[in-house]
A and B are shown apart, each in its own frame.
Chain A
């Protein structure tokens, strides 16, 4: 079933007739990242205005793989349940060389997590749910408002915005550019987007068909049905299937996009012609990022700040990681609880996250699309050996799927399980009547396990211990105290802590320096 696009109403903005008071935060771009940013800020009590040059959700399915961490973030934003219900849950990936399975991964082999490893859901559904949530929270969403100029001053920025009724100006203390991979704001500011372009093209097609294909990710190197190239198949809801086919660099994208050329390729993949073409696109592989995501009063979030080649689901999920890291910090600055210096923490952490995504994506790209010569030689050697030797299987690289990075924090630590070390997202675990990921967030919290929390003015959580909690947070220790940031990242931890220990670690986190 094809998605029924419902245009959003354009309303002539106030600023067209009389100047508007300076806004606290303006978000440019109502894609999944801009909308998530607006909802996240609203959760922290900051009402942003969102400008978008269009008036519908994403045309085409685009980002479809939402990771466990993204679902946890979307849960805080209030839409994860709808995403999981509507989406296709999966955790197993199979990789084939020709017609032989050479590698299989299971992304979430253990129980005790609220969210599954991955949910496949078309970007347009995620945007639809986020728009509804933003409207419930009273976010000012302005459709058909296109930013045509931006000017930065020492403590605010001015935007020129074009609408169907003419153009007007807006001022904002903070502008968040969530305007995508081709970010017009980045262009207007003439910022260099540094990195690599790979000479490779992929055809991406969504087809609608009836099929009982497993809820798994299937990737083929050199399949018989697509001579010498790579292919990927992913299941989406509403009987939509995503097929990616490697085309090589010497193809003409405009010619390849024509249905009369796409359909025969798809017929070879699925073995029949009983399907309908829903959406087709062609993309190149790029791995680039801005040197800094913070430019005084203009902040870059998501694809405007960094783009990676696909096959690791690191674009949309990386963007939500940015939202997670920026929301609480910017809200604290806007609300007067922190100095702007704390935003350097956003810049540093998300540049680190982007680099990890870029590294993984460029390695996968090299494996999928090796240069001729020795790169090709080693790639083919790994694929052939994988059929004979276990060690070569994990070397087969069809994409390393998005996981939250562990930030390199300088923070108090103790001999406790490494998965919950400072800088890592606090692992989920079942609690009496809920989940750890539901109990943490919004504000700094003290988590006291097997002991009382020292007195502070922070929220504290002292859950009843169970085996999963012990395994993920205590290991062999009888007790521990964790300080958890609003983005659910572990800020510090101790076997036992005084009020002063916690206050010092808290001050460190607010400084933006750790």
Chain B
């Protein structure tokens, strides 16, 4: 399977706002921990090892 890199979230602005809202009031360490849990939850949802490998590569490139 190929990693989707086209826009796939219908309301991207709404998701982005929800993401920031989830972090509101957290310390930096707590935010790091939330991000880590979120990555693990989403990675499990994806499941496919090939897609996850491509996602890791894209994220490392995008700096």
Tell me, yes or no, whether B45 is within 8 Å of chain A by CB. no
* A387 and B8 contact, CB distance less than 8 A: no
Closest to B31 in A: A374
* B61 and A388 contact, CB distance less than 8 A: yes
* B62 and A388 contact, CB distance less than 8 A: yes
Closest to B61 in A: A388
Classify the interface of chain B: helix, strand, loop or mixed. Answer: helix
Q: Which residues of B contact A373 (CB under 8 A)?
A: 28, 31
CA distance A367 to B12 in the complex (A): 13
* B13 and A390 contact, CB distance less than 8 A: no
* A390 and B31 contact, CB distance less than 8 A: no
Tell me, yes or no, whether A391 is within 8 Å of chain B by CB. yes
* B20 and A378 contact, CB distance less than 8 A: yes
Closest to A381 in B: B62
* A374 and B23 contact, CB distance less than 8 A: yes
Known: A363-B16, A366-B20. A390 touches B28 (CB 8 A): no
Tell me, yes or no, whether A236 is within 8 Å of chain B by CB. no
CA distance A366 to B20 in the complex (A): 10
CA distance A373 to B12 in the complex (A): 21
* B17 and A391 contact, CB distance less than 8 A: no
Q: Mark A371-391, 1 if CB is under 8 A from B, else 0.
A: 001110110011011011111
Contact of B63 among A363, A384, A392 (CB under 8 A): A384
Tell me, yes or no, whether A360 is within 8 Å of chain B by CB. yes
CA distance A378 to B24 in the complex (A): 13
* A394 and B20 contact, CB distance less than 8 A: no
Contact of B58 among A378, A389, A394 (CB under 8 A): A389
* A363 and B13 contact, CB distance less than 8 A: yes
Tell me, yes or no, whether B7 is within 8 Å of chain A by CB. yes
CA distance A47 to B45 in the complex (A): 63
Q: Which residues of B contact A382 (CB under 8 A)?
A: 16
Q: Which residues of A contact B62 (CB under 8 A)?
A: 381, 384-385, 387-389, 392
Q: Mark A483-496, 1 if CB is under 8 A from B, else 0.
A: 00000000000000
Q: Which residues of B contact A389 (CB under 8 A)?
A: 5, 58, 62
* A400 and B13 contact, CB distance less than 8 A: yes
Tell me, yes or no, whether B26 is within 8 Å of chain A by CB. yes
Known: A387-B62, A389-B58. A397 touches B28 (CB 8 A): no
Known: A389-B58, A391-B6, A394-B7. A375 touches B28 (CB 8 A): no
Closest to B6 in A: A390
Q: Which residues of B contact A377 (CB under 8 A)?
A: 31
Tell me, yes or no, whether A395 is within 8 Å of chain B by CB. yes
* A360 and B13 contact, CB distance less than 8 A: yes
CB distance from A358 to the nearest CB of B (A): 12
Tell me, yes or no, whether A393 is within 8 Å of chain B by CB. yes
* A388 and B58 contact, CB distance less than 8 A: yes
Q: Which residues of B contact A384 (CB under 8 A)?
A: 62-63
CA distance A378 to B15 in the complex (A): 12
Tell me, yes or no, whether B19 is within 8 Å of chain A by CB. yes
* B19 and A394 contact, CB distance less than 8 A: no
CB distance from B24 to the nearest CB of A (A): 9
* A395 and B23 contact, CB distance less than 8 A: no
Q: Which residues of B contact A392 (CB under 8 A)?
A: 62
CB distance from A467 to the nearest CB of B (A): 28
Q: Which residues of A contact B20 (CB under 8 A)?
A: 366, 374-375, 378
CB distance from B14 to the nearest CB of A (A): 9
Q: Mark A263-280, 1 if CB is under 8 A from B, else 0.
A: 000000000000000000
Contact of A397 among B13, B31, B35 (CB under 8 A): B13
CA distance A387 to B61 in the complex (A): 10
* A391 and B31 contact, CB distance less than 8 A: no
CB distance from A314 to the nearest CB of B (A): 14
CA distance A325 to B8 in the complex (A): 35
**Interface CB pairs A-B, < 8 A, 28:** A360-B13, A363-B13, A366-B17, A373-B31, A374-B28, A375-B20, A378-B19, A378-B20, A381-B62, A382-B16, A384-B62, A384-B63, A385-B59, A388-B58, A388-B62, A389-B5, A389-B62, A390-B5, A390-B6, A391-B5, A391-B8, A391-B9, A393-B7, A394-B7, A394-B12, A395-B12, A395-B13, A395-B16
A382-B16, A391-B6, A395-B16 provided; 16 other pairs, C-beta below 8 A?
Answer: A360-B13, A374-B20, A374-B26, A374-B35, A381-B62, A384-B62, A385-B62, A387-B62, A389-B5, A389-B62, A391-B4, A391-B5, A391-B8, A391-B9, A392-B62, A394-B12
Chain A residues with CB under 8 Å of chain B are 360, 363, 366-367, 373-375, 377-378, 381-382, 384-385, 387-395, 397, 400
Q: Which 5 A-B pairs have the closest CB atoms?
A: A385-B62, A374-B31, A388-B62, A389-B5, A374-B23
